Structure 1
Amino acid sequence: MSAKNIAVLGTGGGGRAHAARLAELGYEVHVGTRDVEATLARTEPDMMGNAPYKEWLADHPGIQLHAFADAAAAADDIVINGIDGHNAVAALTSIADQLTGKTLIDYAVPYLYGAAMDHPWPTPWGTMPKMDPCDTDSLAEQIQRALPDVKVVKSFVTQEQETVVNPKAIGGGDHTMFVASDHTDAKQTATDLLTAYGWTDVLDLGGLVAARGMEMYAHMHSAIGLALGLGHHFGVKVVR
């Protein structure tokens, strides 16, 4: 395939998974971070145990690292958002001009770490974070309201990103991915990318309001993962 410019915002494990897979598919990949110098200066693993980004980048020649705005500006049409949910709206609003008219595929979960809770949920990695917003709003809807000239799609969020980019790693790929958006053309763009990743069952959930269910599913996904054992990846299939 001919190269096409695509942006991935975020340098964590999920962003790395997308960037590497997109490069394999022939895209010109532009990764965005808050502070390029600070990202490249880190010498310790991140909170999830990922190696310093400079080391990862050296192993993936051709992938380019920029500030968020420059990465978004370099994208022809698709920008994948992996900025942590608590900071996503502010970070994306600050680069609104570079995102205008583009499809933004958002997989962030609106986790609020360290929040006080009356009934905390203990896990092996600490207390399960609170979600904010949830139930009557979603992060994706907040992003869409803040960026009315951007086509926001919620997708990817119901799987670990390593599985999103390689669905065949689980059950031969026989599981379901979801998309939701108020923009039909953007949903098709996201579906086409999922097809390139190897997905064969993509379920359109309708308007962006369905992002509420996808984001809140993150707690159920964690519960299943804890039941199966840490590190045991799995997929979800809608049987119909």
Structure 2
Amino acid sequence: MKIAVLGTGGGGRAHAAKLLELGHEVIVGTRDPRATLARTEPDMMGNPPYKEWLADHPGITLATFAEAAAAGELIINGTDGINSVKALTSAGAENLAGKTLVDYAVPFIYNPDVEHPWPTPWGIMPRLEPVDVDSLGEQIQRAFPDAKVVKAFVTQEQDTVVNPRAIGDGDHTMFIAGDHADAKKAVTALLESYGWSDILDLGTLVAARGMEMYAHMHSAIGLALGGHFGVKIVR
């Protein structure tokens, strides 16, 4: 399958590498490929320059958001949440129409000016916006009504999403939500190819609100444990 991964950060790299390993044709989208390849410094998360990573993964194509979205049969949104709608607009509504769009972005506002900050080793905990009465997943679906948005991957670090057996031999739960049954079936199949066996469908895309708000709880647990972990739903 031709799969477009929008975004060149650590999460996007994890998915692109795994998809290539699984035999998919991978097209990575970025705002400006020349600028992306020209960078010589690590990104904000400490990932090495993309040019170096790309050289280690021959077979992955780097293109604009629009070129990647047009080529992809399935699209993964790995862009920064606050910029996701803008990035997907650059990808072109016509290139998203009718396609499964997997969204794992968290709508974080970094370095927020808040009355009661939550200090962490990497700075003040980001603020979620939207929250409670809306979600980024729903905003994306409203902005691109002809796309089939599925919220997934969001309750786990992306290097674990593509390798669930790294924790508890894979015995933990992945959540999905969306309004299109065929798109959720496609995402479930992708997750199974990654190695997931416990995939819980939370229903319509409104459940993305809870999935995105869980990000703070996930951070709290991660800070307490000092490392990656999984969540298992016991029925």
For the aligned pair, the TM-score class normalised by the smaller chain equals over 0.9
User: 2:232 maps to what in 1?
Assistant: 237
Q: Superposition pairs for residues 129-144 of structure 1, below 5 Å?
A: 129-144=126-141
Paired with 1:18 and 1:32, the residues of 2 have a C-alpha distance of: 13
Give the superposed CA RMSD. 0.6
1:113 aligns with 2:107: no
Partner deviation per Cα, 1:25-71 (whole Å, 9 max, x = no partner):
00000000011011000001111110000000000000000000000
- Alpha-carbon distance, 1:93 to partner: 2.3
- Alpha-carbon distance, 1:115 to partner: 2.4
Q: Superposition pairs for residues 73-222 of structure 1, below 5 Å?
A: 73-76=70-73, 78-94=74-90, 95-222=92-219
- Is the CA contact (8 Å cut-off) linking 2:111 and 2:123 kept in structure 1? no
- Is the CA contact (8 Å cut-off) linking 2:102 and 2:152 kept in structure 1? yes
Paired with 1:205 and 1:175, the residues of 2 have a C-alpha distance of: 15
- Secondary structure of the equivalent of 1:153? strand
Paired with 1:189 and 1:121, the residues of 2 have a C-alpha distance of: 38
Q: Which moved more, 1:93-102 or 1:164-173?
A: 93-102
Paired with 1:89 and 1:36, the residues of 2 have a C-alpha distance of: 19
User: 1:46 maps to what in 2?
Assistant: 43
TM-score by length of 1: 0.96
User: 1:65 maps to what in 2?
Assistant: 62
Paired with 1:21 and 1:115, the residues of 2 have a C-alpha distance of: 34
Paired with 1:47 and 1:93, the residues of 2 have a C-alpha distance of: 23
- Alpha-carbon distance, 1:193 to partner: 0.2
- Alpha-carbon distance, 1:114 to partner: 2.5
Amino acid at match of 1:196: S
- Alpha-carbon distance, 1:97 to partner: 1.2
- Alpha-carbon distance, 1:224 to partner: 0.4
User: 1:226 maps to what in 2?
Assistant: 223
- Is the CA contact (8 Å cut-off) linking 2:111 and 2:125 kept in structure 1? no
- Alpha-carbon distance, 1:91 to partner: 1.6
Amino acid at match of 1:149: D
Could you list the runs of 4 or more consecutive aligned residues of structure 1 that deviate by over 6 angstroms after TM superposition? none
- Secondary structure of the equivalent of 2:112? coil
Amino acid at match of 2:66: A
Paired with 1:201 and 1:122, the residues of 2 have a C-alpha distance of: 33
